[in-house]
Amino acid sequence: MDCIFCAIANGEIPSKKVYEDDEILAFHDIDPQAPVHVLIIPKQHIKWAYDVNETNSAVVAHIFEKIPEIAKSLGVEDGFRIVNNCGDIAGQSVKHLHFHLMAGRPFGWPAG
């Protein structure tokens, strides 16, 4: 399968890692939309949030369990935004589940 985030997860494509364990990887976004912009991905290929189910949701829980540690390591524990884009209409350009952790500037609501 030709997936850029699988290639990042297995080290074929280099990334600026901020956290890694057996299940997940966090790395700096190549096109940051905020002073801090990190992507957190499961190493297993899940296409999008619509494919999360009872067989694979543990890794999503694991991501959220690690978000406080990742945020603290980035010095943004005072506040951040977590974003998931699901599908083309939401702007998902990479079809491998990922969560954007963004911080370091104010964010408006509703998001555009």
2 binds ligand DGP (CB under 6 A): no
Q: Which residue has the tokens 């543990």?
A: 58
Q: Is 62 a catalytic residue?
A: no
Shortest CB 17 distance to ligand DGP, Å: 10
Catalytic residue among 37, 96, 98, 100: 98
**Cβ–Cβ < 8 Å for 107, 82:** no
68 binds ligand DGP (CB under 6 A): no
**Closest to ligand DGP by CB, 42 or 54:** 42
**Can you tell me the distance from the alpha carbon of 19 to that of 80, in angstroms, rounded to the nearest whole number?**
17
Q: Which residue has the tokens 């399968």?
A: 1
Length of the chain: 112
List residues near ligand DGP by CB under 6 A: 4, 13, 15, 27-31, 39, 85, 91-94
